[in-house]
Chains A and B, each alone.
Chain A
Amino acid sequence: MSYSSYQSVDLPKIAASAPDMRTMTWLLASLALVVAPHIERLPIWFLGLFLAACALRIWQLKHQRRSIPGWIKLCLTLLALAGIWLEYGTLLSRQANTGLLCVMLALKVMETAKRRDVYLLISMAYFVAITQFLFNQSFYLTLYLLGVVVVITATLIVIEHQPIRQLSGRSNTQFISNRHLFQSALRMLLYGIPLMATLFLFFPRLESPMWGVPQKSLNAKTGISDEMEPGNILKLFIDDSPAFRVEFEGVIPPQSQRYWRGPTLWNFDGRKWTRQRTVGNPPSIDPEQITDPFRYSLTMEPTQNHWVFGLDRIVEVPDRTRMETDMTMYQRRPITSITTLNMISDPDIPLDLELGPMFREAALQLPDGFNPLTQALADQWRKETESPGLIVQRAINMFSTEGFEYSFTPPPIGRNSVDDFLFETKSGYCEYYSSAFTALMRAAGIPSRVVTGYQGGFYNEESEYLLVRQSDAHAWSEVWLEDRGWMRVDPTAAVAADRVNLGALDTFERSRGPFDYEWMRALRNRFDSLQRFWNQQVINFDKARQHSLLKPLGIEDMTHKQSVLALTLISSAILALALWRLIRQQERRDPDRIHQLYLAFQKRMKKLGVESSPAEGPIDFARRCKANCPQLTDQIDRVIDAYVQLRYAGHQHSAVERQLKDALRTLS
Chain B
Amino acid sequence: MPETQAETPVQTSASAVELLEPFVKQLSQVVVGKEHLIRLATCCLIAEGHLLIEDIPGVGKTTLAKALGLSASLEYNRIQFTSDMLPTDILGLSIYSRQREAFDFHPGPIFSQLVLADEVNRATPKTQSALLEAMAEHQVSIEGLTRELPSPFFVIATQNPVDFSGTFPLPDSQLDRFLMRLSMGYPDREAERNLLLNPNRQQMMDKLKPVIDAASMLQLQTQARSIQASDALIDYVLALVHASRHHSALQTGMSPRASLALLRSSRAWALMQGRQFVLPEDVQAVFVAVASHRFNPISGAELSAVEIANQMLDEVPVP
Contacts and interface: CB of A to CB of B under 8 A. Distances in A.
B233 interface: yes
B150 interface: no
A338 to B, nearest CB: 56
A619 B273 CA distance: 13
A617 interface: yes
Interface in B30-49: none
A591 B281 CA distance: 18
Interface residues of B, number: 27
Interface in A1-34: 3-4, 6-13
A414 interface: no
Contacts of B232: 591, 595, 647-648
A595 B280 CA distance: 14
B275 A7 contact: yes
Interface string A634-668: 00000000001001111000000000000000000
Interface in A579-623: 591, 595, 613-620
Nearest to B284: A617
Given A8-B12, A9-B12, A615-B313, A648 B318 contact: no
A13 B12 contact: yes
A72 B232 CA distance: 53
Given A647-B230, A649-B276, A615 B315 contact: yes
Contacts, number: 75
A614 B312 CA distance: 12
A10 B280 contact: no
Interface residues of A, number: 25
B274 A648 contact: no
Interface in B1-38: 9-10, 12-14, 17
A339 to B, nearest CB: 60
Contact of B230 (A3, A9, A614, A650): A650
Interface string B265-308: 00000000011111111001000000000000000000000000
A9 B9 contact: no
A10 B12 contact: yes
Given A7-B17, A614-B318, A620-B281, A13 B230 contact: no
Contacts of A13: 9-10, 12
Contacts of A595: 232, 319
Contacts of A644: 277, 279
Nearest to B283: A617
B276 to A, nearest CB: 6
A11 B278 CA distance: 15
Interface in A535-562: none
A12 B316 CA distance: 35
Contacts of A614: 317-318
A649 B277 contact: yes
A9 B315 contact: no
A12 B99 CA distance: 58
A614 to B, nearest CB: 4
25 contacts: A4-B274, A6-B277, A8-B12, A8-B14, A8-B274, A9-B12, A9-B276, A11-B276, A12-B10, A13-B9, A591-B231, A613-B314, A614-B318, A615-B315, A615-B316, A615-B318, A616-B318, A618-B318, A644-B279, A647-B232, A648-B228, A649-B228, A649-B230, A649-B276, A650-B277
Contacts of A647: 230, 232
Contact of B13 (A10, A12, A615): A10
Contacts of A9: 12-14, 276
Contacts of B228: 648-650
A613 B317 CA distance: 8
A619 B281 contact: yes
Nearest to A619: B281
Interface of A: 3-4, 6-13, 591, 595, 613-620, 644, 647-650
Interface string B213-235: 00000000000000010111100
Nearest to B282: A617
A641 B167 CA distance: 51
A649 B284 CA distance: 17
A6 B276 contact: yes
Contacts of B9: 13
A647 B236 CA distance: 12
A620 B280 CA distance: 10
Given A615-B316, A619-B279, A644-B279, A6 B274 contact: yes
Contacts of B14: 7-9
A314 B151 CA distance: 100
A257 B139 CA distance: 107
A649 B228 CA distance: 7
Contacts of B279: 617-619, 644, 648
A7 B18 CA distance: 11
Nearest to B313: A615
Nearest to A13: B10
A620 B304 CA distance: 26
A600 B208 CA distance: 51
A143 to B, nearest CB: 45
Given A7-B274, A619-B281, A648-B280, 6 more contacts: A591-B319, A615-B317, A618-B279, A647-B230, A647-B232, A648-B228
Nearest to A616: B318
B313 A10 contact: no
Interface centre among A6, A617, A648, A650 (most CB of B within 10 A): A648
A10 B233 CA distance: 20
A617 B278 CA distance: 11
A126 to B, nearest CB: 31
Nearest to A12: B10
A145 B279 CA distance: 47
A620 B275 CA distance: 16
B233 A648 contact: yes
A648 B317 contact: no
Contacts of B284: 617
A617 B284 CA distance: 8
Nearest to B236: A617
B308 to A, nearest CB: 14
A439 to B, nearest CB: 86
Contacts of A3: 275
A618 B233 CA distance: 12
Interface in B129-144: none
Contacts of A616: 318
Nearest to A652: B230
Interface string B60-93: 0000000000000000000000000000000000
Given A7-B14, A9-B12, A11-B276, A617 B281 contact: yes
The 5 closest A-B pairs by CB, nearest first: A614-B317, A617-B280, A8-B14, A7-B274, A617-B281
Nearest to B17: A7
A303 B25 CA distance: 83
A10 B10 contact: yes
Contact of A6 (B275, B313, B316): B275
Contacts of B281: 617-620
Nearest to A623: B281
A548 B315 CA distance: 72
B303 to A, nearest CB: 17
Nearest to B239: A615
Contacts of B280: 617-618, 648
A648 B277 contact: yes
Interface in B245-281: 274-281
Interface in B161-187: none
Nearest to B9: A13
A473 to B, nearest CB: 68
A236 B10 CA distance: 67
Nearest to B233: A648
Contacts of B276: 6, 9-11, 649
B223 to A, nearest CB: 10
B314 to A, nearest CB: 5
A430 to B, nearest CB: 76
A592 to B, nearest CB: 9
A270 B230 CA distance: 91
A476 B281 CA distance: 92
Nearest to A649: B277
